[in-house]
Amino acid sequence: MKRIGSCLLAAMLICVFVLTACAPAAATQTPAAATEAPAATEAPAATEAPAATEAATTGAPVTLEFWAYASMVQSGFGEYMKAQIADFEASHPNVTINLTGKNDDDLVAGLVTSAASGTMPDVYIDSTGNGGALLAAGAVGNIYDRWMAMPQDFRDQFYPANIAMVTPQDGVMYAVPYTGYGNLMYRNLTVLRAAGIDPSQPVTTWDEWLAQMKQITDAGYTAIPNMATTWFGFGSIYSGIATRDEWGIDFANNKTLINPDEWAKTAEFLIKAKPYTSELPALDQGMTDQFIANQLAYYFCGAWCDPTFQEAKKTSGLDYDWALIPGATADKHGGCSGYELMSINTKGANADLAWEFLTFMVGKDSMTKMAEAVGQYNANKAAMEASAANSPLIAITMKAAEGAIYNTPPFFIEPYPTNYISTMQDNMTSIYEGQMTPAEGAAKLIEDLNAVVAGRNQ
């Protein structure tokens, strides 16, 4: 689930708090948090578990408030969540888990505002991309001591890179990584065959891909959505030539990490692909409809789109599969990746019980059941390795996530400037429409993004 919209909303909400002085402490401490991370050094009170409530120790009734994305409480994922909650409640007869689903924007807004009012839920899920905003709002606490108190074999279950996301410095950890995605290239096999393309022959480079796009268009079909107008589109292409270190923001030095040469090459590829491209962007409903109707060859999305296509397979005979998004060379692949987190209200009266519930939900057993129930990729490495053999979708998502650029790194440092993503989108669109050459556009992008980053606190 890409969650980029909620990341930008979170940053905007923080700006609102600063401008209205609703949270003066967060407003005045945010710049220091970026460089000196006072929250990290002042966090021991949060890491030390509050004294357990009498209800938690005597068996008196306790209700834990648990906030999650609306998509996680519906359909198959919702059934999985409710089953896990029922298992936990069965072993804790005095405990009730009140699961509340919220839309992306409502979830992050609710966490920011409830942090200000002291009414945060006991346990919550959100995007790692919102980490900087949650930190600035005081919505996350340091759970490092709790994490280190867990057995080594439990901590070893998780991907080190995902743990690093939520651990901005030594001794500071704000959440446990939960679910994630690596976006894929869905292939309409009917369209490929009609264009004379053998689906069993993989496409591994941009040049090979462009040749297939021409063949598809010559046969009367559309090859790809417009990948130039959204970060999810051009980011998926840029990832096929750049590295993770060439994406995101260096807050300490007030600059973007985007490589201008790779940006220019990404733009050049998109311009070459323009004759074979729809006017509609990636993830547009119109593109979904065209893919299902056997008019579009390639569709780009994470595993969360698969249930839609599975249903179309049953009802209309859609014939499709997944592949990695081609990179500039055969040793690279494109795509973006992102992750959700799970954390607790470290200041809450039920923090101990909340942590026990969290570790139950993110452990190998629970995460393996998630993969089996809904095919959801997640950050528990042990669960993914156990599930990949029986789930081709999990297996390819693991490959897609490996090495793909993250959505909005670094995490838990500062909120992204609200116009950072839009500056990228405007720049790529201008190059794509011929208003600048790729080289000119790349140089301007770096200049503009550096100005955005440097001026973020003004």
The model's pLDDT over 160-203, given as tens digits with 9 standing for 90+, comes to 999 999 999 999 999 999 999 999 999 999 999 999 999 999 89
Residue 412 inside a domain? The answer is: no
Residues 247 and 326 in one domain: yes
DSSP state, residue 103: -
Judgement on whether residues 214 and 147 belong to the same structural domain of the protein = no
In the chain, % of residues over pLDDT 90: 82
Summarize the confidence of residues 311-325 as an average pLDDT.
Answer: 97
28 part of a folded domain: no
Band of pLDDT at residue 7, cut at 50, 70 and 90: low
pLDDT above 70 as % of the chain: 87
Structural domain harbouring 119: 4-23+43-182+338-406
**Does residue 79 form part of some domain?**
yes
16 and 139 belong to one structural domain:
yes
Q: Which residues contact 417 (CB under 8 A, 6 or more apart)?
A: 11, 452, 453, 455, 456
pLDDT > 50? residue 46: no
First to last CA, the chain: 32
Which among 90, 93, 99, 100 has a CA at the least distance from the CA of 62?
Answer: 93
> Which residues make Cβ contacts (< 8 Å) with residue 315, sequence separation at least 6?
none
Shared domain check, 64 and 161: yes
More confident residue, 105 or 355: 355
Q: Residue 413: pLDDT above 60?
A: yes
Query: What pLDDT sits at residue 58?
Result: 56
312 and 360 both lie in a single domain: no
Q: Does residue 107 have a pLDDT over 70? A: yes
In this prediction, residue 27 carries a pLDDT of 31
- The answer to whether position 374 is within a domain reads yes
Q: Are residues 330 and 344 in the same domain?
A: no
pLDDT band at residue 43 under the 50/70/90 scheme: very low
Task: Give the pLDDT of residue 59.
Answer: 77
The answer to whether the beta carbons of residues 61 and 48 sit under 8 Å apart is no
pLDDT (0 to 100) of residue 15 = 47
Domain count for the chain, please give it. 2
In the numeric block, which tokens belong to residue 135?
């930190």
Map tokens 């519930």 to a residue: 357
Number of H helices, E strands in the chain: 23, 13
Least confident of 74-78, 87-91, 226-230, 260-264: 74-78
Does any domain span residue 84?
yes
Domain identity same for 203 and 95: no
pLDDT category, 403, cuts 50, 70, 90? confident
CATH code at position 213: 3.40.190.10
The mean pLDDT value of the chain amounts to: 89
Claim to verify: residue 317 and residue 386 sit in the same structural domain: no
Q: Are residues 320 and 213 in the same domain?
A: yes
pLDDT of residue 245: 96
pLDDT single digits (tens) 272-314: 999 999 999 988 999 999 999 999 999 999 998 998 999 999 9
pLDDT at 457: 83
What pLDDT does residue 75 have? 86
Q: Which of 441, 111, 90, 414 is nearest to 258 (CA)?
A: 441
In one-letter notation, the amino acid at residue 348 is G
In degrees rounded to 5, what are phi and psi of residue 455? -95, 15
Which is higher by pLDDT, 284 or 15? 284
The predicted pLDDT at position 455 comes to 95
Q: Is 291 or 16 the better-scoring residue by pLDDT?
A: 291
Residue identified by tokens 């692909």 is 273
Q: How far apart are CA 398 and CA 384, in angstroms?
A: 8
**Where does the pLDDT of residue 47 fall: very low under 50, low under 70, confident under 90, or very high at 90 and above?**
very low
- What token pair was written down for 173? 């950890």
Q: Is there a single domain that holds both residue 9 and residue 119?
A: yes
Q: How confident is the model at residue 415 (pLDDT cuts 50, 70, 90)?
A: very high
Give buried/exposed letters for 253-270 (b at 16+ CB in 10 A, else e): ebebbbbbebbbbbbebb
The answer as to whether 191 is a domain residue is: yes
Per-residue pLDDT, 29: 31
Residue 12 lies in a domain: yes
The per-residue pLDDT for 53 is: 44
Question: Do 109 and 176 belong to one domain?
Answer: yes
Does the pLDDT at position 3 exceed 60?
no
Say yes or no to pLDDT of 134 above 60: yes
Same-domain status, 188 and 178? no
Residue 402 pLDDT more than 80? yes
Those residues with Cβ within 8 angstroms of residue 290's Cβ, 6 or more apart along the chain or in another chain = 222, 278, 280, 296
H helices present in 187-276, as ranges: 189-194, 206-218, 231-238, 260-273
> What's the DSSP call for residue 59?
-
Q: Where are the beta strands (DSSP E) in 37-175?
A: 62-69, 95-102, 123-127
Is the pLDDT at 414 greater than 50? The verdict is yes
Whether residue 38 is contained in a domain is answered as: no
Mean pLDDT of 377-395: 94
